[in-house]
Structure 1
Amino acid sequence: MSGCTSVTWTPPAVSVWHDDATVNGLRYPTRHLIPDWADNSDDLLDALTDEQRDHMRAVHETAHAIVALAAGGYVHRAVTRRTADLRATADRLTGGHQVGGHVATCNVADGRDFVTFLGAGERAEDRWLRETGLWTPTVAVGVEYGAYTDRREVLDRNPGLGFEGGHNDFLIVHELADQAVAEHWAAITAVAGVLAARLCLTGDEIADLAGLPNGTHSNTCTERTEVR
C-alpha cells in the first residue's frame, strides 16, 4: 500500500477489533460488537427508515466517487438503489449478494489513493449517522457488514494488512478515509442528496456538482465513457 508510511496517526498497540463474525465462511473482524440476535446487515439497520437507508446508501456511493475525483481519477458514473426495491427483489433471489450501489472509476493509480477510495464509502456512512444523530453501535456494525466487498478488495490487494494492531492494522484504511471524507464532506453531502433522488449520476455531473474536475479516462479501461 503505497504512501501509508508517511501518514501521521497513532496505530493501536493491540487489536481493537471484535473477532466473532464470519462472512462467506471467512473471518470478518468488526470495530463494533455484533449483537447475538442479528443474522445480517438488514437486521442491524432495522432501526433506520427506508428513506434514511436510501440516503445513507447515496452518501456511501457519493463518497467513493468524490474521493476518486479528488485523487485525479476518472468517474464514469455512480448508481444507487432504493431500499424498497432491494427488499422486493430479495424475495426472488435464490442465492448470492444484492448490490445496493456502484461507482465505476478508472485511473486511481496510487495505492494509497485507491485504499482511501475503497474505505471512503463505509466511513462516510459512519460520519453521516453521527451527524444526523442516528449513530448507535448496532447500526454502525451494520454499516461495517455492508462494507464487506470494499474491505475484501482492500485485503486482497494488500495482504500485509491485518487486525492485530500495529502499523499494518486495517485501521489505517479508516484513518485515511476519515481524513478524505472530512476534507470533502460538504461536497459529499451536497451530491448525495441529488444521487438519492435520481439514483444515477454521470461522473461529469458529480464533478460539476462537487466543483472538482473529472480526470482522464484510462486508455486501458474497458468501461465505456459517459456521454452527457
Structure 2
Amino acid sequence: MTVVERTAPTPWHRHADGTLWTRHSPAEVEWTEDGMPLTGLSAPEREALTAHHEAGHAVVGAAHGRAPLYVSLDGEDGTPDDAGGFTAWRVDTLLTKTPWVQLAWILAAGERAADRWLRDSGLWTPARAWCMEWASSDDRDMASAAARRLRHPFDITWGVGDQPHDWSVICAQTDQHLNIRWNTVTTVAQILLDQRRIDADQLMSLTG
C-alpha cells in the first residue's frame, strides 16, 4: 500500500472570527442561505464526500472499540440533510471513557477521510480542503471540550509543533489509521450511498 503524506507544514491560519484554525488559507467561497460553504461539487459528489466523512468516523471508531450506534446520510431526525450526514455515538462512553488521543483520532477521521477522497477522486483544491476543515469544526470543538472535561493539562494547538496534542500530529496519525483501513472506509461509504444508513450490527460485520 502506498502511504501518501497528507499533512502540510506550519503555519496554520486563523479564521477572521478567531474561532477556527485551519491548515489551509481561508478560501473565498460562496455561501448557502443556511451558512454552509459552497464547494463547487455536484450533488452526487457532495453526497459521496459526506459518505466518506461519516465512514471515516465510523471505521476508525470501530477500530478503537467505539463503533457508533448508526451512521446516516440524513440528518439526526432522519430527514434529508444537504448540510451533511450524522454519526450517532454512545456519547457518555465516547467522551468520558475513551483515551483522549483515541477520541481525537476518531473525531479527526471525518475530515481526513474527506480530504483523501477529494484527492483520490481528482477533486481536491485548497478551497475545498479549507471548506472540509470549516465543516469539521464541531468535531474539533468536541475534542477540545473532551480534553477539558478529562482535565488534561493542555490545550489543543494548531500546527505549532510536534506535541501529541497538536492537531497536525493528530491528523498525521489519523491518516495512518485510515491508510490501513481505507478499503473498509470506501466500502462503508458506498453502502451509505446505496442505502443511506448503516446500523451498528452491519457496521461491525464490515469492520470486524
Deviations 1:83-118 (A, max 9, x none): x9435xxxxxxxxxx663223246552222111000
Match of 2:20 in 1: 28
Structure 2: how far apart are the matches of 1:112 and 1:50?
34
Count of aligned positions? 185
Alignment of 1:36-55 (within 5 A): 36-39=28-31, 42-45=36-39, 47-55=40-48
3-state DSSP class of the match of 1:135?
coil
2:105 paired residue number: 116
Q: Indicate if the aligned counterparts of 2:29 and 2:38 stay in contact, CA closer than 8 A.
A: no
Aligned-partner residue type, residue 140 of structure 1: A
Aligned positions of 1:73-84 closer than 5 A: 73-81=66-74
Deviation at 1:192, TM superposition (A): 0.5
Alignment pair present for 1:144 and 2:133: yes
TM-score (norm 1): 0.72
* Pair 1:61 & 2:84 matched: no
* Alignment correspondent of 2:87: 102
Instruction: Give distance in 1, aligned partners of 2:22 and 2:159.
Output: 12
Match of 1:71 in 2: 64
Contact 1:38 1:44 in 2 (8 A): yes
Report the equivalent of 2:4. Answer: none
| Counterpart in the other structure of 1:203 | 200
Residue 10 of structure 2 corresponds to residue 18 of structure 1: no
**Rg larger for:** 1
TM-score, normalising length from structure 2?
0.78
The structure-2 alpha-carbon separation of the partners of 1:39 and 1:33, relative to structure 1 and needing over 3 Å to count, comes to: farther
Deviations 1:120-174 (A, max 9, x none): 0110000000000000001111111110110111122235212261224221221
Q: Which whole-Å CA distance do the structure 1 matches of 2:102 and 2:166 have between them?
A: 17
Q: Secondary structure at the match of 2:68?
A: strand
Unpaired segments ≥5 residues, structure 1: 1-10, 88-97, 213-228
SS class of match (1:81): coil
Q: Which residues of structure 2 form unaligned runs of 5+?
A: 1-6, 148-153
How much is the aligned-residue C-alpha RMSD, in angstroms? Answer: 2.6
